[in-house]
Structure 1
Amino acid sequence: MTDDESDGVPFVGTSTSLDAADTMEKVSGGIHDLIGVKGKASESLPGVTDCSGKDTQTHFRIFHPWSFAPASAGDLDEAMERLKRELPKQGWEIVEYGPNTSKNRNITLTADNDKKKVSVKVIKMAKNDPPKLSLDLVSGCYKVPDGEEVERF
């Protein structure tokens, strides 16, 4: 995600943190739909974090970590391949794909959606028990409406 901001974090717009979290859950749901194999997603909720270099009372980012464990371990590769193939069709740009530097050399996919101002990092954790995809989404910076403060959760 790129924008005019000096730290490379785009400005999303004005929103309350609750509304921004709802938006992030919808983005996560869209990614979940793209996985396209049977399985179980974790039930984690989005949270609020600071925007680097911005007033913490008025600016924030939303993060949403979750995971997906396919019903069959054999479907893990298919789930990752589907994301690699389908995310670009939904406006995502894959900016990184390949093994990471962990001991297990897990395959990592990082994609940015400039329209939604969200980035996702997906790690295929094939050696976990059970095998799963670990997903971390993070938004650009939001500003709360005038007269309001950031709600933290």
Structure 2
Amino acid sequence: MTEEKSDGVPFAGTSASLDAADTMQKVSSEIYDLLGVKGKASKNLPGVMDCSGKDTKTYFRIFHPWAFTPASASDLDKAMERLKSELPKHGWEIVEYGPNNSKNRSITLTADNAKKKVSVNVTNMAKGDPPMLSLDLASGCYKVPDGEEVQRF
């Protein structure tokens, strides 16, 4: 890495916004494959956000929120447990796991992948209608190639 972390966010490298978004979709697909239960993922697309304290024309982060609804509500806990056991086998470090502060005390998992410069937060929304996992991925800070500007979408 040529640049140090800014506000705890790692430098993810140089990339065009669309290429970084494609990379993020691949990471989301890899996580989907680790769930290990049948179900359906929402069709949300990645978006662009600012890097705190950096020039918004040349630095950006990618975020990708999506949801997974298992074919059977009873598979929700199984999918969460699989993520907890499988993510570390694929280069992820679980940095937080347990009930959150919501009224429902939903189980959440936060994991970082230092190699991919991506973090994921998964919330088990067992009391939702329908019950689902809510996944929020966020990249490190990218810098666009020289002469280009951040494309926002």
Could you say which TM-score interval applies, normalised by the shorter chain?
over 0.9
Question: Aligned AA for 1:128?
Answer: G
| Equivalent position of 2:120 in the other structure | 120
Secondary structure of the residue that 1:27 maps to in structure 2?
helix
Gapped regions of structure 2 (runs ≥ 5): none
Quick one: which amino acid aligns to residue 10 of structure 1? P
1:23 aligns with 2:23: yes
Tell me the SS of whatever aligns to 2:74.
helix
TM-score by length of 2: 0.97
- Three-state SS of the structure 2 residue aligned to 1:73 is coil
Query: Percent of aligned pairs with the same residue?
Result: 79
Deviates more, 1:4-13 or 1:108-117: 4-13
What residue is the counterpart of 1:141 in the other structure?
Answer: 141
Q: How far apart in 1 are the matches of 2:20 and 2:92?
A: 19
Q: Secondary structure at the match of 1:124?
A: strand
> Partner of 1:5 in structure 2?
5
Post-superposition shift, 1:119?
0.1
Partner of 2:151: 151
Q: Distance in 2 between matches of 1:6 and 1:130?
A: 38
Work out whether 1:33 is the aligned partner of 2:33.
yes
CA distance in 2, matches of 1:144, 1:4: 16
Partner of 2:61: 61
Q: Equivalent residue for 2:48?
A: 48
What SS does the aligned partner of 2:78 have? Answer: helix
How far does the alpha carbon of each residue in 1:64-98 deviate from its partner, in whole angstroms, 9 at most, with x for none? 00000000000001000000000000000000000
Q: Matched residues in 2 for 1:126 and 1:7: separation?
A: 32
Q: Do structure 1's residue 109 and structure 2's residue 121 form an aligned pair?
A: no
Counterparts of 2:37 and 2:121, CA distance in 1: 19
Q: CA deviation at 1:31?
A: 0.1
2:77 partner amino acid: D
* Residue segments in structure 1 that go unaligned for 5+ positions in a row: none
**Secondary structure of the corresponding residue to residue 104 of structure 2:** coil
User: Match of 2:75?
Assistant: 75
SS at match of 2:69: strand
Residue identity in the other structure for 1:140:
G
